[in-house]
Structures are given as structure tokens and as C-alpha cells.
């Protein structure tokens, strides 16, 4: 392999959440694809970074595409299920997640995965990217995708990018600062977290966690005040008595000298080492405060020490200067509605040769869906943002929004797409677009686009967006929603009809996010809607309405649970509608799953009486 040059249709550099999805989708479409990753695990945030309690796109209607397929695989493979933590509806052993991605890759004969390599040079011919050199080999490809954690190809290829804050004067974002200040200087981007996994050793005594350099217990004092020790630990509880330590309040977020991440390899390594020491010190503090039953988990990640993730959980990277930029206004709810606007009626002028320009419409460019709240991390700082959360299904969720295809395309460079947190997005909006399911959707769309560009022998900027949207909606393995609709699950018979309807009639897209509601009985009886009704997950009791979207359930049967009180939550639209309509103190029978750590029942089926 030394000094060898490979050729491919599509090259994906970086095996994170977006890069892995992009490579899988490009290969499934038929493109000869090479995926080069730095680490031996694929999946990035979802696996090698240790964040195996992901946020966002939790509602059933948003569990589509590769994200939905990933969840389905987890449900089948994770012993004991996914209801383990209170921060997420899905927490799992990260090794199982890595196995899923590896299986998907290995089943594709036209996808060649090479691990343990990082890019060192990008080849350009004029304004086109043509290949990438690694330490031992080079790859030349028709379309190249940057799926690195920090947007490294942008820097190596001298592709214009942003790093840091934009002022309110740039785009009129309501949460952007009016002037640069101490916060914007100290934390030009959001702080990463070096995730560490801890273990409850029970009656045994855990090995001592030694303090690392720079230990200062005052950094962590009061970290679980207002929550309590048990609730703090259960935030990211994983199966098998393990805990994902990714805690933002006086916890292990780390951002000191964060600009070092993009200065040099040496300075990046220094920052990463300090971030890991910081997490080790936090684990040391937890053990000292809560006792020696808690220690570092064993045999989690494929390197020593095995309790620490393979790399930090990066929340922000270099951000492309693309044909369009996702701004805060694009992710906030429209006036009087529960959804963001999915259609941008603006247009851009795309530079062509010899100083000429071509006007491109941006209407109807959605290619991926997200719904998480806008969440920023700056250690020790509470940064106020415009709200975009709503209550739905008895719990908080976020206003759905979409990602436009043009935010994946460089303004002036050909042969290139981005597929990670490095899309063209403002610093403010990045707080919502950076989440794992959104990035997986971005990666799937980028991989599909790259393969279609090869098929049509065109540049990404010239790919017909409607063709890309149709391909995502009709993909024979992992069809992906591109229009957010709360009340239509992906296996409903009318799903494709309504997705296409709102693409063709953007003015009709409802502010509520609900299409004309299908019969929930039809949904209940569909293959996707059926649940396994068993005696051991059936409960009878009294339904109490505490607020418009806050419900309590007091169990009357079975006897083993009599008198217990649970919060009722659901991810299913028809159950949400039932809960909204039930009167206070209604006697109900429900089937669902208990989450002891969030103290809720996840309702799958519901009857009166």
C-alpha cells in the first residue's frame, strides 16, 4: 500500500457520523467508494467519541433514513433495550454501535475502508479538488467528501471556511452578539468533551482513579446541585451499570485554548491530552465524592485506557463557506407555528469562469431533518439563545427544521462536498445542526449526491436538487424524510405522497407540522405501528392531566406496581393525540416500557378503561 495511488468514484475522508453515512449511501447507490478513517471504529459521535446516548430526531416520525435503520439495529442487538438514561430515549453500548456500522460497510463489495490514516495534502486543479494524500497512499476521485471531525480538508485544500462567531450585523441573528467580547474571545467555538465511561462496581471496590495533572476540585464543586447524585449519574446511564460522563454543568466540557485545535498537529495533540486529563480529574472527583463503588469501566473502547473514548466529542469544527448558510432564523419556529420554515425563497449568484455568475434558486432545497433545541456549551457560562423547544408527547422536544443541499457545496470549489458538522452554518445555528441524527442525515444526503454526480457526470452545484430529494425519499433500503411532519411515520401508506405534496406545494406546508391526519387506527394496524403486546408490559391505572403536555399515571394493576406514579411520554403521534384528548382521572390500560431512571413509561399502545 505504500506510495500506492487508488482511484474511486467517491472518496470520503473521516469515519465519523456523517462520513460513515455518506460512504455507506454512496456505495449502496453503486458508486465505487473509498472511506478513510483515523480510528478503528466508525460512527464518530455515536461510537468512537462515546456519546452513545444521542439527542434529537427521537420522535417516531423523524426516525427515518440511516438514522432510523441504526435505531432498528440497536433495538435488535442491545441486550436489555435502549431505555436506560433520562437524557435520551436511546442509550447503548458504543461497541454495538460500532459493530453495526462495520457490518454495513463490510457487506458492500464496492466500498473499501482504510483505517488509521489522516489526510496530509489535498490535490487541486484550479478550482477543483481531485484527490487526497495520506501518509502511505493517495486517492484520486471524481467527488471528494470532507467527513473529518474538524473540517481538516477545508484547511488542507484552502477551501474558504469560517471559525468563530458572527456578529448580529452579519445576518441579523437574534442571539448573536452585537460586538465581540470576552466570551467570543475565550471560546471561539463550542467546547468539546472527552467522554469517559464509569462503572458501578456494586459491593466490590473499584480501582482507584488517580488524579491527572492540573487537578483542581473547585472546578467541579456543586456540579450536581439541583439534580442529586443519582439523577446526575443516570443522565447518561448505559446498559450494564455503566455511565456516560458527558456533563456540562461544572463537568468535563473543556475549552481552554480551544483555538489550538486548528493551529498545528502538535497544538491539537496538546489540547486533546488536556481534555482527557480534565475528564480523568472529573472521574477522580466523582469517585472521591460518591465512593469507591464507582470506577472506570473496563473494556469499553479498543485502546488503553479502555474507559476513555477514542477522541473528544467535538461540537463544532471549521465551517464551510457554502452557496448558502444556515442561520439562526432558519431553525427557529415560524410565527404562531411549531416548525421552522423549510423553504428559503432567496437565491444566490454562483461564480462561473471569467467573472461570470449564474443565479440559483434556493427554494425547496431540504435534504435532511433535525429537531433538537439550540444548545451551546461554554464551560462556566450560561449563554442565552432564542427558544426553539416545544412540549410534545408529554416531554420536551425541539422545533423541526431542515438542512438545504446548497449548504453542503462550496461557493467556489468543484468536486467537493462536506458531510459533517462542517456544513455552511453560522456559529449560532451550529448548536442545533451539530447533533448526531442531523449529521447522519447530512451524511446520507451527501453520499447520495456524490454518487448521483458520478452517474450524471456533473458537479455537485449542478445536480438537480429534486432528483436528489426523490432518491432520498425512495431509497430502497433507508428512505429518508426531508419534510418534517409530526404525525406521519415513515411506513404509513401515505408517507411518500405527503412528502412529495409539500415539495410540490411549499405554500401549503402547515405551521403545525401536521399533515391532514390519517386515521390512527389505520396506523395502529400497520406493520410499523404494531407493538408486541405482552402481559409484562401492560398496565392499568388512572390518567392525570397535570398540564397541557404533562401527564401522570398511577398504577392500579398489576399488583406488583400498584400505587406507583409514572410520567407518561410517547414518541408516536397517535398516542400523543390520545393523551391530549383524555380527560383528567380517566381509567386507562396501556402498553409500554418503563424507564426507571427517567421515571417515565414510554407508551406504545393505549386504550380507555
Residue 20 lies in a domain: yes
> How far is C-alpha 148 from the chain's CA centre?
15
pLDDT tens per residue, range 155-166: 999 999 999 999
Are 549 and 582 within one domain? yes
Residue 169 lies in a domain: no
Are 286 and 336 within one domain? no
Average pLDDT value for residue range 259-288: 98
Are 351 and 495 within one domain? yes
User: Helix 495-504 vs helix 465-473: angle between axes, to the nearest 10 degrees?
Assistant: 170
Are 372 and 472 within one domain? yes
- Cis omega (within 30 of 0) for bond into 558: yes
DSSP 451-511: HHHHHHT--GGGS-HHHHHHHHHT-SS-----S--TT--TTSTTHHHHHHHHHH-GGG--T
pLDDT exceeding 70 applies to what percent of the chain?
A: 93
User: From CA 258, how far away is CA 394, in angstroms rounded?
Assistant: 38
Residue 19 CA: distances (Å) to CA of 438, 448, 523: 13, 12, 34
Are 21 and 85 within one domain? yes
Task: Please enumerate in sequence order all residues whose Cβ is within 8 A of that of 547, keeping only pairs 6 or more positions apart, or say none.
Answer: none
Residue 285 lies in a domain: yes
Are 398 and 485 within one domain? yes
User: From CA 445, how far away is CA 423, in angstroms rounded?
Assistant: 12
User: From CA 413, how far away is CA 56, in angstroms rounded?
Assistant: 32
Residue 465 lies in a domain: yes
Are 290 and 328 within one domain? no
Nearest CA-CA partner of 373 in 395, 354, 351, 345: 395
Q: Which of the listed residues 466, 492, 508 is the one where a domain comes to its end? A: 508
Which CATH number characterizes residue 132's domain?
Answer: 3.50.50.60
Are 465 and 585 within one domain? no
Are 364 and 441 within one domain? yes
Q: Which of the listed residues 243, 263, 296 is the one where a domain comes to its end? A: 296
Residue-level pLDDT at 518 = 58
Please state the pTM of the whole predicted model: 0.95
User: From CA 599, how far away is CA 555, in angstroms rounded?
Assistant: 13
Residue 181 lies in a domain: no
Are 499 and 420 within one domain? yes
Residue 9 lies in a domain: yes
Residue 449 lies in a domain: yes
Residue 171 lies in a domain: no
Residue-level pLDDT at 408 = 98
Q: 456 is in which domain, residue-wise?
A: 4-164+316-508
Q: Which of the listed residues 296, 325, 353 is the one where a domain comes to its end? A: 296
Q: Tell me the sheet residues that pair with 608.
A: 588
Are 466 and 325 within one domain? yes
Q: Has residue 170 got a pLDDT over 60?
A: yes
- Mean pLDDT computed over every residue of the chain: 93
pLDDT exceeding 90 applies to what percent of the chain?
A: 90
Number of C-alpha atoms within 13 angstroms, CB side, residue 233?
A: 19
Domains: count for the chain: 3
Q: Has residue 362 got a pLDDT over 50?
A: no
Are 370 and 255 within one domain? no
Amino acid at each position: 500500500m505504500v506510495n500506492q495511488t487508488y482511484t474511486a468514484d467517491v472518496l470520503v475522508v473521516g469515519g465519523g457520523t456523517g462520513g460513515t453515512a455518506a460512504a455507506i449511501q454512496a456505495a449502496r447507490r453503486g458508486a465505487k467508494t473509498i472511506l478513510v478513517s483515523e480510528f478503528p471504529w466508525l460512527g464518530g459521535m455515536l461510537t468512537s467519541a462515546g456519546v452513545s446516548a444521542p439527542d434529537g430526531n427521537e420522535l417516531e416520525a423523524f426516525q427515518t433514513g440511516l438514522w432510523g435503520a441504526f435505531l432498528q439495529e440497536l433495538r435488535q442487538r442491545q441486550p436489555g433495550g435502549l431505555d436506560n438514561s433520562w437524557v435520551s430515549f436511546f442509550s447503548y453500548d458504543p461497541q454495538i454501535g460500532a459493530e453495526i456500522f462495520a457490518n454495513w460497510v463490510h457487506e458492500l463489495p464496492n466500498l473499501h475502508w482504510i483505517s488509521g490514516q489522516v489526510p496530509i495534502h489535498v490535490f487541486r486543479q484550479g478550482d477543483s479538488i481531485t484527490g487526497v494524500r495520506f501518509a502511505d497512499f493517495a486517492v484520486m476521485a471524481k467527488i471528494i467528501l470532507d467527513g473529518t471531525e474538524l473540517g481538516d480538508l477545508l484547511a488542507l485544500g484552502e477551501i474558504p471556511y469560517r471559525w468563530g462567531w458572527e456578529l448580529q450585523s452579519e445576518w441579523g441573528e437574534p442571539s448573536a452578539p452585537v460586538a465581540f467580547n470576552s466570551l467570543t474571545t475565550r471560546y471561539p467555538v463550542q467546547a468539546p468533551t472527552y467522554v469517559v465511561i464509569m462503572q458501578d462496581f456494586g459491593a466490590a471496590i473499584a480501582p482507584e482513579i488517580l488524579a491527572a495533572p492540573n487537578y483542581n476540585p473547585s472546578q467541579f464543586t456543586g456540579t450536581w446541585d439541583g439534580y442529586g447524585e443519582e439523577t446526575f449519574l443516570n443522565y447518561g446511564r448505559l446498559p450494564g451499570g455503566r455511565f456516560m460522563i458527558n456533563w456540562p454543568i461544572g463537568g468535563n466540557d473543556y475549552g481552554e485554548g480551544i483555538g489550538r485545535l486548528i493551529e498545528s498537529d502538535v497544538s491539537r495533540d496538546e489540547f486533546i491530552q488536556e481534555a482527557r486529563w480534565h475528564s480523568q480529574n472529573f472521574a477522580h472527583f466523582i469517585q472521591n465524592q460518591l465512593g469507591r463503588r464507582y470506577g472506570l469501566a473496563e473494556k469499553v473502547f479498543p485502546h488503553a485506557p479502555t474507559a476513555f473514548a477514542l477522541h473528544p466529542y467535538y461540537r463544532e469544527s471549521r465551517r464551510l463557506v457554502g452557496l448558502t448558510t444556515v442561520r439562526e432564523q432558519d431553525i427557529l419556529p415560524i410565527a404562531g407555528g411549531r416548525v421552522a420554515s423549510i423553504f428559503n425563497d432567496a437565491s444566490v449568484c454562483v461564480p462561473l469562469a471569467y467573472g461570470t455568475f449564474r443565479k440559483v434558486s434556493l427554494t425547496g432545497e431540504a435534504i435532511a431533518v433535525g429537531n433538537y433545541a439550540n444548545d451551546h456549551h461554554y464551560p462556566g457560562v450560561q449563554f442565552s439563545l432564542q427558544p426553539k423547544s416545544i412540549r410534545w408527547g408529554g416531554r420536551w422536544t425541539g422545533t423541526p427544521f431542515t438542512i438545504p443541499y446548497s449548504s453542503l457545496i462550496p461557493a467556489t470549489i468543484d468536486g467537493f462536498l462536506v458531510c459533517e458538522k462542517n456544513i455552511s452554518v453560522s456559529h449560532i445555528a451550529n448548536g442545533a445542526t451539530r447533533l448526531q441524527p442531523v449529521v447522519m442525515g447530512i451524511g446520507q444526503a451527501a453520499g447520495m449526491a456524490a454518487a448521483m454526480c458520478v452517474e450524471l457526470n456533473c458537479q455537485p452545484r449542478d445536480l438537480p436538487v429534486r432528483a436528489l430529494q426523490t432518491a432520498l425519499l425512495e431509497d430502497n433500503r433507508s428512505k429518508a424524510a426531508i419534510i418534517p411532519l409530526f404525525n406521519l411515520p415513515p411506513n404509513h401508506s401515505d408517507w411518500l405522497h405527503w412528502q412529495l405534496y409539500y415539495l410540490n406545494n411549499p405554500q401549503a406546508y402547515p405551521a403545525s407540522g401536521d399533515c391532514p391526519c390519517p386515521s390512527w387506527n389505520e396506523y395502529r394496524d400497520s406493520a410499523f405501528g404494531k407493538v408486541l403486546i405482552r402481559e409484562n408490559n401492560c398496565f392499568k391505572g388512572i390518567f392525570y392531566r397535570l398540564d397541557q403536555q404533562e401527564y401522570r399515571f398511577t398504577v392500579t394493576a398489576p399488583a406488583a406496581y400498584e400505587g406507583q406514579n409514572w410520567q407518561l411520554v410517547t414518541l408516536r403521534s397517535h398516542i400523543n393525540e390520545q393523551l391530549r384528548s383524555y380527560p383528567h382521572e380517566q381509567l386507562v390500560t396501556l402498553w409500554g416500557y418503563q424507564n426507571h431512571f427517567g421515571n417515565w413509561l414510554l407508551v406504545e399502545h393505549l386504550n380507555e378503561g
